[in-house]
Amino acid sequence: MQDHNEELIAPSQGLRLLAIHAHPDDESSKGSATMAAYVAAGARVMVATCTGGERGDILNAAVGELAHAHRDLAGVRRTEMAEAAAHLGIEHRWMGYVDSGLPEGDPLPELPFGAFALIPLEIAAAPMIKLIREFKPHVIIAYDENGGYPHPDHIQAHKVAVYAFEEAAKAESSPELGEAWETSKFYYDRAFAPERFRALHYAMLEEGIDSPYAERIAEWEKHPDEQMFGWVSPHKTTTQVNCAAFFKTRDEALKAHRTQIDPTGFFFAVPEAIYAKHWPWEDFTLIESSVPTELPETDLFAGLR
């Protein structure tokens, strides 16, 4: 565990970070305070959004009656994404694929024709290879094998990220997509790190505040050998970036996605002061690095400065 008082991110001019996400709003709920911190430190940060989120549900009751959202959800989500990107200070690129939707029922229905999750990997990854070769990131952040959570677009985004990371570095692979670029470090995001939720749960109880995680924590502690969220891959955190100074920025970016994020809901259940005191980091797992670095890390660009 890190020291809460350690220095914030070092100046990062000339460094580039690419975060690969499935839908608009994913960038704000996963690693956004880290991205904002690096932007403030001088790095260039790019978010690549694989789909337009056009099959998402309207999850905020307050905008449920908004006629525009029902008539043109894809357009609304593009506007929301632009607003979130402005809050975070990031650059942004749409990859142009169509949201697969989250299949529900038993048995699960087939995914709709043309959905991102059904696109052959070599085709789905081509725009990402091109972007990597153009942007030339030093670091890529992606989802783990289960997509962070098992939405078909998240799992496909994981596959695309891994494939593009590997193929973009090969001069003989798709030369029409640009000159080869080897990204130095590749991370998985750990937004669902169970230890974070446990720490915040007990911190809230100590402050006399009802914890939104009580039922899940109790179940997990009864069965400690099981994953807290069932779907989380068993990767360990290697890297914690101290970004508490940007939690407000993260929250503003989240709220920009107003059709998807309820400002009274799950993402805002923990008071910011408790977050900042008890878990002032965002968590990542280093998967590959071509530069020497010592674990645990406090900096995604460790070994590159």
pLDDT tens digits for 51-73? 998 876 665 555 555 545 556 77
Residue 176 lies in a domain: yes
Residues 215 and 131 in one domain: no
Q: How far, in Å, CA of 41 to CA of 35, rounded?
A: 10
The answer to whether residues 75 and 200 belong to one domain is no
82 in any annotated domain: yes
For residues 34 and 84, membership in a common domain is answered with yes
284 and 208 in a common domain: no
Report yes or no on 37 lying in a domain. yes
Residues 218 and 126 in one domain: no
Q: Are residues 248 and 225 in the same domain?
A: no
- Does residue 300 belong to any structural domain of this protein? no
Residue length of the chain: 305
What are the strands of the beta sheet with 139-142, ordered from one edge?
91-97, 44-51, 16-21, 139-142, 185-189, 281-289, 239-242
Within 13 Å of residue 40, how many CA atoms lie on the same side as its CB? Answer: 15
Band of pLDDT at residue 232, cut at 50, 70 and 90: low
Q: What CATH number is attached to the domain comprising 268?
A: 3.40.50.10320
Say yes or no: 80 and 130 in one domain: yes
User: Do 76 and 109 have their domain in common?
Assistant: yes
Structural domains in the chain (count)? 2
* Span 182-199, average pLDDT: 94
Tell me the pLDDT tens digit for each residue of 264-278.
877 888 998 999 999
Residue 171, pLDDT score: 97
CB 85 within 8 A of CB 39: no
Q: Quick one: 277 and 152 in the same domain? A: yes
Phi, psi (deg, nearest 5) at residue 181: -140, 125
Domain that residue 219 falls in:
194-231
The answer as to whether 9 is a domain residue is no
Is residue 75 situated within a structural domain? yes
pLDDT digits (tens, 9 = 90+) for 67-110: 455 567 778 889 999 999 999 999 999 999 999 988 776 777 78
187 and 198 together in one domain: no
Claim to verify: residue 90 and residue 148 sit in the same structural domain: yes
CB atoms within 10 A of CB 301: 24
User: Which residue reads 């807290």 in tokens?
Assistant: 228
DSSP letter at 225?
T
pLDDT for the residue 263: 85
Q: Contact at 8 Å (CB) between 194 and 229?
A: yes
Same domain? 183 vs 202: no
pLDDT at 230 over 70: no
Please answer whether residues 147 and 188 qualify as being in contact, where contact means their C-beta atoms are separated by less than 8 angstroms.
Answer: no
Task: Evaluate if residue 247 carries a pLDDT over 60.
Answer: yes
pTM: 0.92
CA dist 252 → 87, 137, 249, 257, 282 (Å) = 7, 26, 5, 9, 17
